[in-house]
Amino acid sequence: MSTITQDTTEAHDGHSHDDHGHDDHHHGAPKGIMRWILTTNHKDIGSLYLWFSFIMFLTGGAMAMVIRAELFQPGLQLVDPNFFNQMTTVHGLIMVFGAVMPAFTGLANWLIPMMIGAPDMALPRMNNWSFWILPFAFAILLSSLFMEGGGPNFGWTFYAPLSTTYSPDTTALFVFSVHIMGISSIMGAINVVVTIVNMRAPGMTWMKLPLFVWTWLITAFLLIAVMPVLAGAVTMVLTDKYFGTSFFDAAGGGDPVMFQHIFWFFGHPEVYIMILPSFGIISAIVPTFSRKKLFGYSSMVYATSSIAILSFLVWAHHMFTTGMPVFAELFFMYCTMLIAVPTGVKVFNWVATMWRGSITFETPMLFAVAFIILFTIGGFSGLMLAITPADFQYHDTYFVVAHFHYVLVTGAVYSIMAAAYYWLPKWTGHMYSETLGRWHFWCSTISVNVLFFPMHFLGLAGMPRRIPDYAIQFADVNQIVSIGGFAFGLSQLIFLAVVIKCIRGGEKAADKPWEGAEGLEWTIASPAPYHSFTTPPEVK
Amino acid sequence: MTTKHENYYVPAQSVWPITGAIGLFLIAFGAGSYVQQLATEDTSGGYILVAGIAVIIFMLFGWFKNVIDESMSGLYSAQMDRSFRQGMSWFIFSEIMFFGAFFGALFYARMVAIPWLGGSSNNAMTHEVLWPTFEAMWPLVKTPDGTTTEAMPWTGLPLYNTLILLASSVTLHFAHVSLEKSKRSALKVWLGLTILLGIGFLFLQVEEYVHAYQEMGLTLSSGIYGNTFFLLTGFHGMHVTLGTVFLIILFCRVLKGHFTPESHFAFQSGSWYWHFVDVVWLCLFIFVYVI
């Protein structure tokens, strides 16, 4: 039993540890490839999710590079328009379902059991299933790019009739790959909810939960609620295209606008699925490096819940130009603006946390501060888009592209980067290279603004989205944007180098490498033992 | 320190999840290819689909056998039982949302799309320009492009089916009560009766479909009425099929002497699932057939 002592937290707090009924699992990780394929360990599965997400991030990023290369000059340069459309579509699908969502699920897997003092996720085998569906789902999606007729080319929002009447033959593969992605997400989310509700250590009451856990609980609820609606939407696309139904065809009594209602009923909560965990991450990092407690913990919890509830009432703000009745336009406009209130509470609390703190700017904090500033810019452009009459002007222009890249890249992706730097010492047992980390941060932050900020101007000047060619007067700005894009893409290779270097070696990380950090994950060894908290810690 | 956590059971490595992932891959890829090949001679996708289903069935047997063995050897604590129950409840919630998407389509078509095509609200010009002879009505037995069909009446088969499913929920409840009171023979009778009612429902459902296709001209492609009718009742029928298989497995386990009055998560979740399917049918009956 001596190995157990080293493996678990008891080594630190001296608790007894007899007959847990599963001694045979106490030795370390199994070896070889089968470890990863058959694993039921939340840390292994977390690592799989994170690596998968990073590979998808680079894949989707490569497609973005194709897009930016084509848009470097006006006229058709490198690819034909159909392929350009496939790139914009698959770039979006991969970044949403393959990069951002799995990254958050990976973080949830790694961190939630450690943060709440649980031995593992509640349903470890299902956890493995949720992960391993994903590589297959994306293999199907990506393989359709190489088939006759090409892959999906109707935008990641697959509006009917683009996805029904005018879509390529391979649309069925798109539909079924989305189906199994959805199954994966729902199972992952159920696992998270059950783990949080049921597996907290004694004394870990609701209002003591770390905010990352809170935000993920609410995210998981949103996932379970809306992923099935997406499944319904793709099913109707499938039957409309192949089985003669007319859900989205007015000739049969349906309505193409109905597609948008169903899609965005999923799609808007989906947007918050991709940002709420970020709020949790930032709420962990900002207090650590400000060496202060988080300002307004309970208001953060209530703000997150309000955002989640409101997210079900705002979907049609994506559809202001479809000719909805004025009452609906007003309703969705006001509800959307209401979201600025809880979001404002959050930003205020982060700033108030930093106020008069003794702040240091290690890489995680750099990313967190950049998140607060740049995400807020994305939030403000979102407010502009929420104003119905203004949206008539902005709709389907590069202004929208700028908006959602500010919230998704400098929002979601930045928070994921911040989280990676923050918890890498706990995961690997080594400190990452602070110098390289800063290089990564500054290269990314300068280039990402060169990339996305001018898009606002392009949009306001009237450049439409998803078109491979543009009027000559947009040429200069597009060139600047493309250069920013290539630089941002290259900067991410620095991150890859940092992570590999950190896994292979480096300065030994203390159990709690950040002096201001709080939370159960810092009470166990670095690197975190294969099984943490087989006996629950007492939370006071 | 509480003791309940100390019985936590982290399962060892398992081959079943990856088997399930491969099965889902084959199903998705096979079904996708099969649908694409509908217009061609090629049927290779169908074989992949069937192979995928076979892998999933194999996986379910293996995985459930594992879980049942673990459960029977007392490895599960009260906490794990709660995890399973909560997991099942959330799964049912996700199913409700799935049906919600189709009910949403039904309501939108009835309340918004069809009246607008008929010129209501401020859509007089839509009506005039697109299909000036179109008449808004529900059930939509004549679509804007002129496809005609018949509406399924709620009397007759649908009404019998409603009574059958309602009765099956009651018999399943009696089965559950018998289990909790350790009345094993009553349990077998009530559970068996529930399964028969489920099969009876499915039989009548098939009858109804045959009737619709052959005599009424109501098909999947008869416009939005046929679309919502067949997808809602079809997905519901698939759920009844799954629920019946679930109940049959429970019946076999009951015969083998499984389940105790205190511990019967599988029975509980099967019963929840059945009641859920029943409630979905009630909504269907009201909104698809009656109103």
ipTM score here? Answer: 0.94
A136 C-beta neighbours (distance < 10 Å), count = 21
Whether residue B228 sits in one domain with residue B189: yes
Whether residue B157 sits in one domain with residue B15: no
Asked if the model's pLDDT at residue B115 lies above 60, the reply is: yes
Report how far residue A36's alpha carbon sits from residue A8's, in angstroms, rounded to the nearest whole number. Answer: 21
| CB-CB under 8 Å, A536 with B83 | no
Whether residue B198 sits in one domain with residue B63: no
Whether residue B90 sits in one domain with residue B190: yes
Min Cα–Cα distance to chain B from A259, Å = 9
Determine which one of A185, A304, A397, A526 is catalytic: A185
A82 belongs to a structural domain: yes
Whether residue B91 sits in one domain with residue B56: no
Determine which one of A17, A241, A292, A317 is catalytic: A317
Determine which one of A268, A405, A426, A531 is catalytic: A268
Whether residue B278 sits in one domain with residue B157: yes
Min Cα–Cα distance to chain A from B12, Å = 7
Whether residue B88 sits in one domain with residue B72: no
For residue A206, what are the domain limits? 1-14+31-45+66-211+510-540
Domain containing residue A187: CATH number = 1.20.210.10
A362 belongs to a structural domain: no
pTM, 2 dp = 0.93
Which residues of chain A are modeled with pLDDT < 70?
Answer: 1-28
For residue B203, what are the domain limits? 77-290
Which chain A residues touch B95 with a CB distance below 8 Å?
Answer: 228
Domain containing residue B284: CATH number = 1.20.120.80
Do B218 and B152 form a contact (C-beta atoms < 8 A)?
yes
CB of B114 less than 8 A from some CB of A: yes
Min Cα–Cα distance to chain A from B248, Å = 24
Identify the pLDDT of residue A16.
38
A119 belongs to a structural domain: yes
Rounded mean pLDDT of B126-145?
93
Question: Is A394 annotated in the active site?
Answer: no
Whether residue B243 sits in one domain with residue B165: yes
Report how far residue A36's alpha carbon sits from residue A31's, in angstroms, rounded to the nearest whole number. Answer: 9
Q: Which residues contact A51 (CB under 8 A, 6 or more apart)?
A: none
Question: Is A184 annotated in the active site?
Answer: yes
Min Cα–Cα distance to chain A from B180, Å = 25
Structure tokens, B108: 């939108």
Report how far residue A459's alpha carbon sits from residue A402's, in angstroms, rounded to the nearest whole number. Answer: 8
A516 belongs to a structural domain: yes
Report how far residue A200's alpha carbon sits from residue A472's, in angstroms, rounded to the nearest whole number. Answer: 60
The structural domain count of chain B equals: 2
C-alpha distances in angstroms, A412 versus A97, A284, A461, A532? 13, 15, 27, 28
Whether residue B43 sits in one domain with residue B118: no
Whether residue B285 sits in one domain with residue B141: yes
Q: Give residues 153 to 212 of B whose Cβ lies within 8 Å of A.
A: none
Among B76, B109, B124, the domain-final residue is B76
What pLDDT digit, counting tens, does each position of B54-93 carry? 999 999 999 999 888 888 887 778 888 899 999 999 999 9
Nearest chain B Cα to A170, which residue?
B36
A128 belongs to a structural domain: yes
Residue tagged 């001209």 (tokens): B217
Could you tell me the pLDDT band of residue B134, with boundaries at 50, 70 and 90? Answer: very high
- Residue from A456, A314, A457, A465 nearest A388 by CA: A314
Average pLDDT, chain B: 92
Question: Is A343 annotated in the active site?
Answer: yes
- Residue from A416, A412, A297, A395 nearest A345 by CA: A297
Identify the pLDDT of residue B291.
85
Determine which one of A272, A350, A421, A470 is catalytic: A272
Report how far residue B105's alpha carbon sits from residue B99's, in angstroms, rounded to the nearest whole number. Answer: 10
Q: What percent of chain B has pLDDT over 90?
A: 81
Whether residue B112 sits in one domain with residue B237: yes
| CB-nearest partner of B100 from A176, A229, A536 | A229
Could you tell me the pLDDT band of residue B8, with boundaries at 50, 70 and 90? Answer: low
Determine which one of A39, A88, A167, A184 is catalytic: A184
Residue in A20, A24, A133, A237 to test binding to B, most B beta-carbons within 10 Å:
A133
Report how far residue A412's alpha carbon sits from residue A414's, in angstroms, rounded to the nearest whole number. Answer: 6
Do A66 and A77 form a contact (C-beta atoms < 8 A)?
no
| CB-CB under 8 Å, B24 with A136 | yes
The structural domain count of chain A equals: 1
Among B24, B54, B76, the domain-final residue is B76
| CB-CB under 8 Å, B83 with A122 | yes
Question: What ranges in chain B are assigned the alpha helix state H?
Answer: 16-36, 44-72, 78-108, 114-117, 124-129, 157-180, 184-211, 223-255, 265-284
Whether residue B152 sits in one domain with residue B18: no
B37 C-beta neighbours (distance < 10 Å), count = 16
Do A330 and A313 form a contact (C-beta atoms < 8 A)?
no
Identify the pLDDT of residue A531.
83
Among B49, B76, B103, the domain-final residue is B76
Question: Is A125 annotated in the active site?
Answer: no
What pLDDT digit, counting tens, does each position of B179-192 carry? 999 999 999 999 99
- Residue from A241, A272, A56, A68 nearest A152 by CA: A241
Which chain B residues touch A258 with a CB distance below 8 Å?
Answer: 105, 108-109, 112-113
For residue A535, the number of C-alpha atoms closer than 13 Å in the C-beta half-sphere is 21
Structure tokens, B78: 């009260």
Question: Is A185 annotated in the active site?
Answer: yes
Could you tell me the pLDDT band of residue B214, with boundaries at 50, 70 and 90? Answer: very high
CB of B79 less than 8 A from some CB of A: yes
Question: Is A346 annotated in the active site?
Answer: yes
CB of B47 less than 8 A from some CB of A: no
Asked if the model's pLDDT at residue B16 lies above 60, the reply is: yes
Q: Can you state the angle between helices A101-116 and A171-198, rounded to 10 degrees?
A: 10
Identify the pLDDT of residue B73.
82
